[in-house]
A = this chain, B = another copy of it.
C-alpha cells in the first residue's frame, strides 16, 4: 500500500500494531514458561489475555473504517523480542533472568504505548471518533501493565536486598 495521506498512515500504523500484538501473543507463552517468579508468571499470563482483547479491539477499529484486519511486518517489535530471545537463551541465573524478562516486557509495553498514543492523536485529527474509545481502553491497559511490571521489578529487587 502506498502511503499518500494521514489516513493511509493511520491504517498502516493500525496494521503495524496488529502485527505487533499478534507477535506478542505468539511469543508470550514461551516467556511465561521461562519466568520463575510466580507473580511475574501470572502478570504475564494476564497480559497475554489482555493482548488477545487488544487484537479484538483492533479488528473492531478496522471494521469501523471499512477495512479488512491485516498485519504489516513490524521490524520494531521483532527487534525488541529478538533481544529478549537472546537474553532468555543466555541467562541461567533465575533472579537475573526474571529481571531481564521484566525489562523486556516493559520495552514491549512502551512500544505499544507510543503507537496507541500516536493512533489516538491521528484518530482525533481524522475525526474517527467512533474508534477513539477502543484505542483509549487499550492504551490505559498497556500503561497499567507497564506500571505493574515496574512495581514487581522494584518489589522483587527490594525484597532481595532487604
In the assembled complex, the Cα of A99 lies from the Cα of B3 at a distance in Å of 12
Chain B min CB distance to A122 (Å): 7
Report if A118-B96 is in contact (Cβ < 8 Å); known contacts: A79-B78, A83-B74, A91-B9.
Answer: no
Q: How many residues of A contact B (CB 8 A)?
A: 51
Q: Which 7 A-B pairs have the closest CB atoms?
A: A79-B79, A75-B79, A110-B114, A125-B157, A110-B110, A75-B82, A76-B79
* Interface residues of A, Cβ cutoff 8 Å to B: 2-6, 8-9, 13, 16, 74-80, 82-83, 87, 90-93, 95-96, 99-100, 102-103, 106-107, 109-111, 113-115, 117-118, 121-122, 124-125, 146, 150, 153-154, 157-158, 160-161
